[in-house]
Amino acid sequence: MSDIDRLRLIRTPGIGPITWRQLIARFGDAARALEALPDLARRGGGKAPTPPDPRTIEREMKQVAGLGARYLFLGDPDYPPLLAELENAPPAIIVRGDGALARRPTIAIVGARNASAAACRFARELAHDLAREGAAVVSGLARGIDTAAHMGAGPATIAVIAGGIDVAYPPENAALQERIATEALLIAEMPPGTEPRARHFPHRNRIIAGIAAATVVVEAAPKSGSLITARLAGEAGREVMAVPGSPLDPRAQGCNLLIREGAILVQNAADVLEQVRPIDPRSVRAPGVSFGSAPPADADDAARCAVSGLLGPVPVAVDELVRQSGLVPAVVQIVLLELELAGRLERHAGARVSLI
């Protein structure tokens, strides 16, 4: 299918990764999905979102190429295989550097931005030891633990950033970001020129957790972004590990909490590799990513009423909607898709949905 059509669908307001995947599954390609948007939104009782003009997408693609970057689409052979396993995997990522790194056994190392000197040293040495054993180390290029991990791993590091591929954040890591893009691998989901905002970082975190076989938290306060990454890793069925710290240090509370809740205690690279050695990214399906199959028929008005009647402002699991409505999952998903394209439905973590 056309890269322009795929990007137009991705960049259409209100169409997230799950909706994009469902539209491709239903219509077979992005061009037909774009044509179907008005009718789907009408059925959902709203106005269809407006896809960007093809010329806008062409300008973006030219800009990406001019930066020495390229797109990887979900289903492409070079798309990171473990990331492709996520239900909400990015339909497209923009990369600079050595894409083969993402096919190595990959470990995420994350932690506090205001990390202690001892924690930064540990993260740097852990990353170095993992890289020496043939693993790639992924992190988010933030201050503190992320920076230490990238520096320790050297050319075996993957940086996932919250903004555009051409935007350095934080500014003091501009040289490090460029070095990673040249010698290792830099990944962005947002279009070029996008300044990172608070809402972008959870999306970045899911890529960090999704691309890795395991996530190691070195230092983190409770309710920190690092713990969000650890939670996303656990939800994706990946190993969650943590480095213990002093109970007197608030920066260690998050890690100690993770260990108390069942995370694997990590003291060195051997502890990490012992858990992930059996995982080979090459064994994970990636080139043949399945987008599902189109349901046998559209939802009728009775099905729409049944599903809509079960929805409200409180998020509810999609599985619960299937159970209570008595409809087949494919029909429930069609109704939810129509409502989302009409701007009436919001998706939440854990496959839950609510009315807006």
| Domains of the chain and CATH, by start | 3-66+295-355 (1.10.10.10), 93-283 (3.40.50.450)
For residues 157 and 185, the answer to whether their CB atoms sit within 8 Å is: yes
pLDDT given at position 115: 93
- Kindly tell me the number of DSSP H helices and DSSP E strands found in the chain: 15, 12
pTM for the full model?
0.88
Q: pLDDT tens digits for 58-76?
A: 999 999 999 999 999 998 9
SS3 343: coil
Of the chain, the end-to-end C-alpha distance in Å amounts to: 33
User: What's the CA gap between 56 and 266, in Å, rounded?
Assistant: 47
For residues 255 and 243, the answer to whether their CB atoms sit within 8 Å is: yes
pLDDT given at position 284: 44
SS (H, E, C) 206-266: HHHHHHCCEEEECCCCCCCHHHHHHHHHHHCCCEEEECCCCCCCHHHHHHHHHHHCCCEEC
Question: What are the tokens at 276?
Answer: 């992930």
Question: What are the tokens at 289?
Answer: 């990513």
pLDDT given at position 80: 95
Q: pLDDT tens digits for 264-276?
A: 999 999 999 998 8
User: What's the CA gap between 276 and 174, in Å, rounded?
Assistant: 32
Q: Highest mean pLDDT: which of 20-34, 129-143, 297-311?
A: 129-143
Q: At residue 42, does pLDDT exceed 60?
A: yes
User: What's the CA gap between 20 and 183, in Å, rounded?
Assistant: 32
User: What's the CA gap between 160 and 170, in Å, rounded?
Assistant: 13
User: Cα–Cα–Cα angle for 67, 73, 76, nearest 5°?
Assistant: 115
SS3 110: strand
Q: Quote the percentage of the chain above a pLDDT of 90.
A: 75
Using 50, 70 and 90 to split pLDDT, how confident is the model at 48?
confident
pLDDT given at position 292: 53
pLDDT given at position 96: 97
Q: At residue 204, does pLDDT exceed 80?
A: yes
Pairing label, strands 70-73, 92-97: antiparallel
Q: pLDDT tens digits for 269-328?
A: 999 999 886 555 444 444 445 555 444 457 888 989 999 999 999 999 999 999 999 998
Mean pLDDT across the chain: 91
Question: What are the tokens at 232?
Answer: 């996303």
